[in-house]
Amino acid sequence: MKDISCKLLVIGAGPGGYVCAIRAGQLGLDTVIVDPGKPGGTCLNVGCIPSKALIHAAEEYDRIAHLAHGRNPLGITAAKPEIDLSQTIAWKDGIVGRLNSGVSGLLKKAKVKIVQGHARFRDGKTVEVETETGLQIIRAENVVIATGSAPVELPNLPFGGPVISSTDALSLTSVPERLVVVGGGYIGLELGTAFAKMGATVTVVEAQSRILPQYDAELTRPVAKRLQALGIAVMTGTKAKGLAKAGGSLLVEAEDGSEKALEGDRILVTVGRRPVTRGWGLDELVLDMDGPFIRIDERCQTSMRGIYAIGDVTGEPMLAHRAMAQGEMTAEIVAGHRRVWDKRSIPAVCFTDPEIVTVGLAPDEARRTGVEIKLGQFPFSANGRAMTRMGEDGFVRVVARADNHLVLGIQAVGQGISELAAAFSLALEMGARLEDIAGTIHAHPTQGEAFQEAALKALGMELHI
């Protein structure tokens, strides 16, 4: 097989990798991208997109199920619904397939050469790829490592049999009667909530003292309230010990040392993700590491000249849109543009019920910087649009400096609040002050008005509360 030489080689076709390759191709760089699977990586194939499809199907089923009870204020009744999860999964797979084709088309349009197979470094400029037709050697002037992350596997709960990962959960063809979720973070709660809405009896086991520990308690309170309403049992301060000898239940240990067996047809382990740093020849390179992650500078440059790294393999936050932004920037740097990674805010969205959005600094984080702050918070119980959608539980909160009113952070929890993430991020990226948000005319009736009202509240000029 003839060797390939190129200006830029991208290892990994996830959100960061394929965006990097597309932008590089658009800039006229001779670019090759390598991945063993379909383009799109974890996010498109077994993560962000499939999980949101499942969450939407669960929401629709739950909505109709409530209408079927006839006990709702809307005056609507419906027949008892049924769900064929295999058909739902087929619909999800169809969406993923269309997006796969779309990414492949964009790569080809940008004249990027796609090589399918497992890449492994021989040295800092040479990579060998095991393809179906043989060993392909690629020599590149610049390399971008975008190998992503994988689910963390617990030693006492290895994946297999009843123990499944988030990837496995998104391929189930029937709703488990009993589901035990190990991990009360965003992945576990998103999927656990979806299966509960589809009829599963769900128990969440979290080792820490509360669910979603990365968020402040005020933000997670509406989520905890909704979990209770859905009948989801949440066991905090509880550790998963392993499967019982019979294999049909999970042994857990509470803070007081007592043990209990939880029956579950499936045990979904969602205790985090780890960077993929094995299997592609890391030992052939001399890269500085930051714990398990590859250390990079403000240009995504590693400790070896001509080798860059982006996305989950470089550390937190492990978010697809962070990887995309890094990929675009890195391609422009290789093309000779002057760019640095200097983002004021990277939005984080938790697609629970209700949803959570955070950008910038939370109140406690802002206080730790030593500046005096102003807070403005507006509840959705006072927002007309939220009330008409029966989504009154939640709020928008704005954190700003007290001296010059510069916005430092925005947090929100509420139904469909993820769609306001762009407005929140734009405000921080452009250096908005409270007066900028308060003085922007927001459409009525929308949930976005809560953003304006929160800024008004921080200024002491609130109108509707």
Amino acid at 241: K
Measured over the CA atoms of residue 377, residue 236, residue 173 and residue 157, the dihedral's sign is positive
For the chain, the helix, strand and coil percentages under 3-state DSSP, each to the nearest 5: 35, 25, 40
Cα–Cα distance list, 250 to 243, 261, 267 (Å): 5, 5, 8
Question: Residue 449, Cβ neighbours under 10 Å: how many?
Answer: 22
Pairing of β 355-360 and β 266-269: unpaired
Q: What is the largest CA-CA distance in the chain?
A: 71
Contacting residues for 362 by C-beta, under 8 A, at least 6 apart? 215, 216, 399, 409, 411
State the Cα–Cα distance between residues 23 and 40, nearest whole angstrom: 15
Q: Which of 141, 422, 193 is nearest to 304 (CA)?
A: 141
Half-sphere CA count of 194, side-chain side, radius 13 A? 26
Q: Is 442 a known active-site residue?
A: no
Q: Which of 127, 133, 138, 58 is nearest to 92 (CA)?
A: 58
Catalytic option among 69, 321, 444, 464: 444
Q: Which of 328, 394, 384 is nearest to 355 (CA)?
A: 394
N-to-C CA span, the chain: 71
Give the active site residues: 444
